[in-house]
Amino acid sequence: MGLNETDRAALVKLYWDKCQNALIDADGAISIGRWNNAAGRIYYAAFYAICTLFVKDGYQIKSHRGAKSMLGQHYVVTGKVSEEDSRFFSQLETLRDKADYNAAFLATQEEIMEYRPKVDTFIADIKNLIGEI
């Protein structure tokens, strides 16, 4: 990624803010029982956390599939991210895909409430790799 350090730091901050805002939006959707919306927002919180890490490390992604691939290639293989975290991110993406693209799918309160604290742990793991924002 051809960014100077100032631009990279600004982009890192923007992605991290998107991550935090997605968590706020997820909690808002949860509070009113909008489980499919919550599914999307918890996925995007994790996605933006990963984007923050990629930008910080100088990687550029072009798609959600690319993010999953890059996470595996640059972080799981090197042991920086656990296989468990990688699987969890894949599960979130599948949940989001169903919630967004399958008209008959309805996420449940139980599954969202199971995923929500795990998202916080996932994001904390990624934040440990990012460091100071």
Tens of pLDDT, residues 78-105: 999 999 999 999 999 999 999 999 999 9
Q: Is residue 25 part of a domain?
A: yes
pLDDT band at 3 (very low <50, low <70, confident <90, very high): confident
Q: Which of 87, 95, 45 minimizes the C-alpha distance to 68?
A: 87
Q: Is residue 133 part of a domain?
A: no
Residue 112: its H or E element: helix 109-130
Helices (H), 32-108: 35-56, 64-71, 83-101
Q: Is the pLDDT of residue 1 over 80?
A: no
**Residue pair 37/29 in contact by the 8 Å Cβ criterion:** yes
Average pLDDT, the chain: 96
Residue 110's alpha-carbon distances to 66, 93, 101, 114, in angstroms, are 30, 17, 20, 6
* Mean pLDDT calculated for residue range 105-113: 98
Tens of pLDDT, residues 33-63: 999 999 999 999 999 999 999 999 999 888 8
**pLDDT score for 2:** 76
Domain with 32 in it: what CATH number? 1.20.120.330
Write the CB contacts of 126 (distance below 8 Å, at least 6 apart in sequence). 46, 49, 50, 52, 53, 81, 85
- Cα 91 versus chain centre, distance: 11
- Domain membership of residue 39 as a residue range: 5-128
The total number of structural domains that make up the chain: 1
**pTM, to two decimals:** 0.95
